[in-house]
Amino acid sequence: MTAPAAPPSVITNAAHDGAPKPRLSVLIPFYKESPSTLLRALRPVAGVEVVVLDDGSNQSELTQDVLSTIDAIALPVTFISLSRNEGRARGRNRLTQAARGDYFLCLDADMLPDAPDFLTRWLAVMDSDPAVVFGGFSLQQAPTDKRFAIHRLMAAKSDCLDAATRRQTPEKYVFTSNLLIRRDVFAAQDFDGTFTGWGWEDVEWAMRVAQTFGVQHIDNTATHLGLDPADILIRKYEQSVGNFARVVQKHPEVVATYPSYRVARLIRKLPLRGALRTALRTVVHSEAAPVRARAFALRLYRAALYSEVV
């Protein structure tokens, strides 16, 4: 029998005590990686609080690093620490329960605002009472190490798109890395806690929300600092297969319009798909191959994985 999880530990900093109810709650989950760089980059703005969730890291040095950081910043902060990992969807749902603002701004721990008035811009967006707004990704401050070259290339092509481009398929380009959500919208549609592992829980949420509330896009970007080497990307794609299958089951008409789905359907018809995946992995790991070829092989590898569930 599995022992029940210990109750969450909740700690607030000095700036939180006596602070008025905020308009905006910045929600930052993390797991075994410190959000301190992001916390220090968030310039204090009236009407903003931060809620941070350690989703079961159980690392005392990491906890002390975060506590030292929140003690040193002027923004009101609530720090929640879980003894057991709940996953990306459930963790973000828990963050909203602790938040006091009328709006939530979801940020990943490995993001960094690109503009010094990043939070002020979001407050101005809230004045028009939008339901859901995505601010966009960038690589402006991301590392340029050679081992991240594939991820940089793929992110630049697929993720770091301007608002005008994202608006063409608004629900597709919604990620919980720089996402503004009105409280009542999230009360009506929270994240599906049955999603486990990595990927797709935010896109699936956007598919549901877009039907009722719509999704807007602006250019108020944050840099994704957490680029991964090829082997980590492969591992994440492998972990995402079950989540992708769940999205296909719940929203077949929407997913059918995605190029990755169409390629997966084509690969599904091929014999020896296991051999194809092995060959593609070999190309991805080949340091001698051009980066563009390795990135293309990785995209095909992801589609080959998804071909088993379409």
Q: DSSP secondary structure string, 182-210? A: EHHHHHHS---TT--SSSSHHHHHHHHHH
The answer to whether 205 and 189 are in contact (CB under 8 A) is: yes
Stated as kind and residue range, the H or E segment containing 52 is strand 48-54
Mean pLDDT of 243-251: 90
End-to-end CA distance of the chain: 36
Mean pLDDT of 41-51: 95
| Whole-number pLDDT of residue 1 | 41
Q: Which of 253, 94, 48 minimizes the C-alpha distance to 186? A: 94
DSSP-derived 3-state class of residue 298: helix
**The pLDDT of residue 300 is above 90:** yes
Indicate the CATH number for domain 9-226. Answer: 3.90.550.10
Distance between CA atoms of residues 266 and 74, nearest Å: 54
Distance between CA atoms of residues 241 and 89, nearest Å: 16
- What is this structure's pTM? 0.90
What pLDDT, in 10s, does the model give residues 188-223? 998 888 877 788 888 888 888 988 999 999 999 999
Domain with CATH 3.90.550.10 in the chain: 9-226
Mean pLDDT of 36-54: 95
Distance between CA atoms of residues 16 and 3, nearest Å: 33
Mean pLDDT of 288-306: 95
**The pLDDT of residue 2 is above 60:** no
DSSP-derived 3-state class of residue 218: coil
- For 58-83, letters b (16+ CB in 10 Å) and e give eeeebbeebbebbeebebbbbbbbbe
Q: Which of 177, 29, 174 minimizes the C-alpha distance to 94? A: 29
Distance between CA atoms of residues 295 and 301, nearest Å: 10
Q: Which of 173, 167, 183 minimizes the C-alpha distance to 101? A: 183
Mention every residue, 6+ apart, whose C-beta is less than 8 A from residue 100.
21, 22, 25, 49
Question: pLDDT confidence of 5, banded at 50, 70, 90?
Answer: low
Positive or negative, the CA dihedral 10, 34, 42, 155 is negative
